[in-house]
């Protein structure tokens, strides 16, 4: 054994060892804290400062003015200042039509949001999402033209069977007689056949997500889109 080895001071270990790799807890803490500062998590600043002081007190004393400034900043309540960075969350999409708009025939009009289409005899019926159904004369495909519009607020689906057209109006299923395809007649309504539409007014159809709380005063929610939302307060 080399002389003096027994008297040589063995340095204390300051790293966590896993296999051949060493992880300095101070360095890991600095990286983590830098991420928190840059991303606006001010409430974690005090924890980060004390963490660094614990592992590197001499080093941190040299930077004493910096932690003091950060500590003061950590006392800021971002919920009151409006400085919270937008987060990715779901936002409600409100309908552009009234909830209680009547189901009725109207003159032909331009398509706003094209939906499903169904062929029936010499006609085609195309859904205009959340607005109604366009009636198209289609005897000659090259000369197809709109001849009327069946207003059915919030309709998204269509099916035709045995001369009857089925679609949804709000939460209900409505049935029209197509004896005269140019003037469908409402013959039956099945109330609350689509309860999911009602649930959509309260939250998006997903779990473990943040979302913007819907406002009933803005109308009926017809969809949810994921986008940057300033301080989303609701979660499901």
Residue 58 host element (H or E) = helix 57-62
Buried b (16+ CB within 10 A) or exposed e, 97-111: beeebebeeeeeeee
Residue 41 has pLDDT above 50, yes or no: no
Q: How, if at all, do strands 132-137 and 145-151 pair?
A: antiparallel
Is 178 a residue whose pLDDT tops 90? yes
**Mean pLDDT value across residues 167-187:** 93
C-alpha to C-alpha distance for 73 and 236, rounded to whole angstroms: 31
Global pTM value: 0.53
Q: What is the pLDDT of residue 87?
A: 81
Q: Residue 124 above 90 pLDDT?
A: yes
Question: Would you state the pLDDT for residue 193?
Answer: 82
Nearest C-alpha neighbor of 230 from the set 96, 78, 38, 42: 78
Helix, strand counts (H, E) of the chain: 6, 15
Q: How far is CA 6 from CA 12, 46, 155, in A?
A: 16, 43, 87
CB-neighbour burial class of residue 165 (10 A; exposed 0-12, middle 13-18, buried 19+)? buried
Considering the chain, what is the average pLDDT of its residues?
Answer: 74
CB 97, CB 218: distance < 8 Å: no
- Domains annotated on the chain, with CATH: 14-81 (no CATH), 87-95+197-235 (no CATH), 104-189 (2.40.10)
Check residues 222 and 77 and name the one with the higher pLDDT. Answer: 222
Residue 95's pLDDT is: 73
Please give the share of the chain, as a percent, with pLDDT higher than 90: 33
pLDDT at 147 over 70: yes
Tokens read off for 143: 């000369």
Could you tell me the pLDDT band of residue 154, with boundaries at 50, 70 and 90?
Answer: confident
% pLDDT > 70, the chain: 60
- Between the alpha carbon of residue 216 and those of residues 9, 130, 220, 229, 230, the distances in Å are 73, 17, 7, 18, 19
pLDDT at residue 215 tops 50: yes
């Amino acid at each position: 054994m080399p002389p003096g080895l027994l008297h040589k001071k063995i340095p204390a270990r300051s790293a966590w060892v896993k296999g051949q790799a060493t992880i300095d807890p101070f360095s890991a803490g600095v990286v983590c804290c830098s991420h928190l500062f840059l991303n606006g998590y001010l409430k974690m600043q005090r924890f980060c400062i004390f963490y660094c002081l614990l592992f590197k007190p001499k080093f941190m004393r040299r930077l004493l003015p910096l932690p003091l400034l950060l500590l003061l900043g950590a006392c800021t309540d971002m919920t009151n200042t409006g400085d919270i960075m937008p987060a990715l969350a779901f936002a409600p999409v409100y309908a552009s039509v009234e909830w209680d708009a009547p189901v009725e025939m109207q003159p032909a009009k331009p398509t706003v949001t094209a939906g499903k289409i169904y062929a029936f005899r010499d006609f085609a019926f195309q859904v205009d999402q959340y607005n109604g159904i366009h009636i198209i004369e289609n005897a000659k495909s090259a000369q197809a033209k709109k001849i009327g519009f069946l207003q059915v607020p919030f309709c998204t689906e269509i099916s035709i069977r045995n001369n009857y057209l089925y679609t949804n109006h709000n939460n209900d299923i409505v049935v029209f007689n197509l004896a005269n395809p140019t003037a469908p007649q409402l013959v039956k309504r099945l109330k609350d056949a689509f309860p999911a539409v009602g649930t959509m007014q309260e939250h998006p159809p997903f779990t473990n997500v943040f979302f913007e709380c819907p406002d009933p005063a803005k109308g009926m929610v017809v969809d949810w889109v994921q986008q940057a939302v300033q301080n989303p307060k609701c979660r499901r």
